[in-house]
Structures are given as C-alpha cells and as structure tokens.
Chains A and B, each alone.
Chain A
C-alpha cells in the first residue's frame, strides 16, 4: 500500500511549511511536495490604501527582510512619482540593502544551516541545533552573531531602528547621512570583513566533505534569474534582468524591470499558498528557474570588489564543467561570497565623496498610474508592482517574492533528494533531515511568500484515523 510521509513543521526556516513524500508500494518515492500552509494575502488587503502607505505596509510582510520590501516598494513608488532619485539617496539605499544582505545571509549560514554542515545530517537531532554548534565551534557561532549585529547596526544607524525602519521614502530617503554616523558604520566594516573572510576560508575547506550532498541537492537543470548591472556584473539594488539557462547561455538579457511580465508568468497549485512563477516563453512548469545568491553569482560576469572577485573565481570551480554552478547545495557558498562583496561594497560607498550630500529626496505627486520596483533581496529577485487610481489609491498589487521564484525548483529539489536518500522501507531520521536541508539551501522566507493570486485553488482532504483520504473537496 502506498504511504505518505509528512515532515511538519519544516524547521530552521522562516515561516510554516510542510513537506509530503508519497511512497509507492515498493517504498520508492513517487512524488514530493513542498506546501506553504499559511495564508497572508497582502496583495488583497493593500487594495484601497494610499500608495504612500505601501512601503510601510509591505515591509510588515516580514520581520527578517523588511528592508528588501521597503526598497522594492519605494522603488515602485518612485516609478509612480516618475522621478529619478538623487544619486546620494540611491547610494544610501544601496548601503542599507547590503547591510540587510549581510545580516540575513549570516542568519541563514551560521544559525540555520551550520548545525547540518558542522554536526552532520545524521547526527542526533536533539543536539543538531545552534547549541550543538556552540559546543562544537563557539567561535563560529560568535562570528555569526557579530556579523548579524554589524548588519543590523548599520540598518539601525541609517534607518533609526533595526526592524521596519521608515527612513527610505518615495523619492529617496528622508534624511541625509551625518558624518559621525558614516564614521560609526565605516568603523564596523573591517571587523566584519575579517570575520567574513575567515568564515569563507573555513567553509571552502569544508566543502569537499559534502561531495555526495552537493551531487544530489537540487542539481536538476534550471535557468537562473537575477538583476545585473548594464555591464553584466553583480547587482542588488537596480539594474536589468538577466536569465541564463542551465548550460550558461544567456536567454534574456538587459530586460528592463518594467518589462518583467513579458518574461515571468505566475501559476498556482492546490497544495500550497505560494505562487509558482515561471519563465513565460517556456510555459508552466517547464519554465523553471532559480533566484538568489546562486543565480546572482552564476549570472554575473564579476562582483566588482577585490576579494569577492577572487572568491567568485573559486566559486566557479565548484562546477566540473564550464557551465553555471548547478547544485543548490552551493547556495551556502554563494552566500559567503556575497557577504564579502556586501562588506567591501559598503566600504566603497561610504568612503565616496558625495555620501554626505544633503540632497537626498526628490519630491513629486503621483504622475503615473502604474509603478514597478525590482531589487535583489537576500533570497533573490523581489518585484513590487502597483496600479493606482486618480486619487492615488491602490487599485491592484502584484508581489513576486524571491522565495516564490524558487518554488518550482524547491519542489523539484526535494523530489531529487528524496529519490537519492529516502528508503521507504527503512526510514531514518537523517534521510528526512536531508529533505529538509535542501529546502534550507534556498533559505526560504515563507512569511514573505504567501499571497493571494485572485481565487486560490484549494484542496481540502479528510483523512480517517489510519490516514486514508475518505473525502476530498477541490475548488478549482
């Protein structure tokens, strides 16, 4: 008889999710699904609100990456105003985005994934947690705390508070940067860079140990989507969209974010509240792609900062051939490269001559009925798209979240890992932990990714005490 294994809740991720594995009579994995079980509905309840409220409203989507929503939302509002924000404002926004990237990547690597990486997937689940890491390598745990603190402190220094700062506004930022605050931030960065380099060196030596996991953790071919600079380099705040295929060929390039709907479609399934974006020209579900640090590094010609470029060259050697790095396991590696980049880039920006310039905000009223803002969140490309009426009230909202872009890939990855490790007739905890761990590679933020898309298809299953489905109600 076929059986269903449910892993719930999926631990050490942001939000609530479930994984189900459908086993055949033989014990082999027939199907695997990643279910987002919570419903938020931001796209719907933002309707009718003044567009200037959108940055504050949408930042509440998440307590871990509010800065990403704040920036994408304000960029969409800049577009509604039809203004070009002052150059210094753009640089200050960039610093905040990079600080967000540092703290978020640090949380993912040091606190969520390091128990698996340091203690092993088959270690005792009772101690396979942050406390196990602290016992094994307290300095590594302290490094994670310090890097997060540096990222959060820079966000707080710029924005006035760590969570949900309101300093970024439509048209720029609401206050210029005082010299003393600039100096405080600059003083933190050398320590952060030292920690980041040390951690990178440590992990680079550890990676060969995970050859087996790297060869099964999401290696199926997909495309990669990210922003790049006009020169094709690493970009997190602005730029143009690029898509590479699994062989490294560029299939879309220099696509203005305003045209994202030409290349990105959104599908829904009845087993999850998360949408399934796909590459429109290839259709659903064939148009599968990944976003986030792995995609950004695969798509970039260069990072543009000294040490990050050395690390990028080493990152590329993770792949045996000359194509993109395909294993989702290497999201971890890519995060460490990006932390180095972010710290180097912040130093460069803060040392710039015009960073203290007083002109930091363009003022205007709504001049367009439609605004689109795209930025790179730590987890990948984040898209905010608003339409407003004559009164400036929101008519329609579409949010395409980084974690959503990865939805198809995450579902495929758990099937791949389950195929490789799960024996239905001899179930071991370490097998299921690997299924969870591949999801952690993507560092999904499910609080961000659960949204309404018109009428969600919904399936309700009634199971008897033995787990047999006795009734099923489906709303298409």
Chain B
C-alpha cells in the first residue's frame, strides 16, 4: 500500500441533496491539493474501485445521509464489513468495498466517511437545498482535516509537495476545520462503523 490518499464523493446528480458527495469532490478537485491525493466524483460505488483502494493508505468517502438531521455534517471512521452487502449488484456500501480490499490484498486503507444530512431527495432535482448547500464548506473542511490539511494550510504553494499520512484522528476535535463545521453539526470523528450515513434513496 502506498502513501497516497483517495477522496471519493458519490451520489446521484439528479436527486437533489444526494448530489452533495460528487459536488464536494468536484470542489476539492479544483483545489491545488498535494501530489498523492486523488479525487473522484462518482454516481455510485462500484466493484472496480477496490483496485484503487488497495493502492492508497487513506480513503475519505463523501456522501449524503438520509439518517442524519438535514445539514448536519458528520465524520466517522469506517471499518471493513463483509456483512454490509447489497442485494443489488450495481452499487456497494463503502464498508463492503473495504472488506473486498482486505480479503483480496490483506489490508484495507484507513477509511473515513464525511456525510451531511440531506433535506430533499426528489427525482429530477438538480439543485441542492439551501440546507445542504450550507453544509458544503464544512464538509470540505472536514475532508481537509482528515488529510491533515486544515483551512489554515495554504494549498496553492503546496502544489508539488507529496502528501504524507499523519495521525489526524485526535486533531480534528480542536482544529479550525472542526470549528468551521460546528454551525451545521459535528466534524468530530465517530468510530461507529455501522453508521454508514448511506441514503436508501441512492439508486442507479
């Protein structure tokens, strides 16, 4: 496993707040992040992502959540979970993919899920609700915090620097990124691996 990080924002772009994952990923992709951090915006999580997961030491999933108060941002540690299997075949729970990675390659990357509660999930809705829109910046701050790149970090000049993992789990509670997130919820990490934050509405 190499010292690289992967950011994966996922959700349907035509189902209202479910789009917040790929939208946040797109925002992050526009930033001058250090080398070694790859950003992907996806509709759904599919099996071939496992090949990307085993090449990185840390992965951060970004998703909308149907089981969280609208607008609230949460950050939680994910563990591989082979029981989190979908009966469908065209999308997967992030914990299942981590379990695939562990089973095939012996280890899975350190994984986090940054999620925000959504308010609107209607079909053919191309805009985020005001509530979800307000969660975008705190989510970005949360992701940067998980990477040890707080909002104080000047990302532009760091272009060319290689990203290296560091222990950010304890730092999140008191750093600026967490403060940014407070108006909309907590960016403090949760270790409940069952709490996926995955909206049931996410379909192909």
Contacts and interface: CB of A to CB of B under 8 A. Distances in A.
Interface stretch (B86-94, B127-135, B180-188, B189-197): B86-94
A32 interface: no
Interface in B84-126: 85, 87-91, 99-100, 103-104
B42 interface: yes
Contacts of B41: 161
B14 interface: yes
A117 to B, nearest CB: 16
A163 B88 contact: no
A178 interface: no
Interface string B68-94: 000000000000001001011111000
Contact of B89 (A64, A138, A149, A161): A64
A118 interface: no
Contacts of A15: 88
A63 B103 contact: no
A131 interface: yes
Given A63-B91, A134-B104, A129 B44 contact: no
B47 A148 contact: yes
B204 to A, nearest CB: 2
Contact of B204 (A62, A135, A142, A145): A62
Contact of B103 (A138, A146, A152): A138
A155 B116 CA distance: 30
B104 A138 contact: yes
Given A129-B85, A141-B104, A107 B47 contact: yes
A162 B50 CA distance: 15
B103 A134 contact: yes
A270 to B, nearest CB: 25
Nearest to B52: A149
Contacts of A131: 82, 99-100, 103
A12 B85 CA distance: 10
A22 B41 CA distance: 47
Contacts of A63: 43-44, 90-91, 203-204
A163 B44 contact: yes
A135 B103 contact: yes
Contact of A152 (B48, B85, B104): B48
B3 interface: no
A103 B51 CA distance: 14
A131 B103 CA distance: 7
Interface in B149-173: none
Contacts of A62: 90, 204
A13 interface: yes
A164 interface: yes
Contact of A11 (B42, B82, B87): B87
A28 interface: no
B88 A14 contact: yes
Contacts of B2: none
Contact of A14 (B44, B89, B103): B89
Interface range on chain B (Cβ under 8 Å from partner): 20 to 34
A111 B97 CA distance: 13
Nearest to A446: B88
A141 B99 CA distance: 13
A146 B51 contact: yes
A77 B89 CA distance: 30
Contacts of A433: none
Contacts of B99: 131
A107 B89 contact: yes
Interface string B9-52: 00000100000000000000000000000000111101110110
Contacts of B46: 148, 152, 162
B11 to A, nearest CB: 11
Given A130-B100, A134-B100, A134-B104, A145 B51 contact: yes
Most chain A CB within 10 A, of B44, B48, B82, B103, is at B48
A142 B89 CA distance: 17
B200 to A, nearest CB: 13
Contacts of B44: 63, 163
A60 interface: yes
Contact of B14 (A14, A60, A138): A60
A254 B147 CA distance: 60
Contacts of A111: 47, 89
A283 interface: no
B14 to A, nearest CB: 7
Nearest to B204: A63
A144 B43 CA distance: 21
Contacts of B47: 107, 111, 144-145, 148
Contacts of B42: 162-163
A14 B48 contact: no
B80 to A, nearest CB: 11
Contacts of B89: 12-14, 64, 107, 111-112
A62 B89 CA distance: 12
A326 interface: no
A365 B48 CA distance: 40
A142 B203 contact: no
A447 B204 contact: yes
Contact of A149 (B43, B51, B104): B51
11 contacts: A62-B204, A63-B91, A64-B90, A129-B85, A130-B85, A134-B100, A152-B48, A163-B43, A163-B44, A163-B204, A447-B203
Q: Which 3 A-B pairs have CB atoms at the shortest separation, nearest pair first?
A: A63-B204, A149-B48, A163-B43
Interface of A: 9, 11-15, 60, 62-64, 103, 107, 111-112, 129-131, 134-135, 138, 141-142, 144-146, 148-149, 152, 161-164, 447
Interface of B: 14, 41-44, 46-48, 50-51, 82, 85, 87-91, 99-100, 103-104, 203-204
Given A14-B88, A63-B203, A131-B99, 13 more contacts: A11-B87, A13-B89, A15-B88, A62-B204, A107-B89, A141-B104, A145-B50, A145-B51, A146-B51, A149-B51, A152-B48, A163-B42, A164-B43
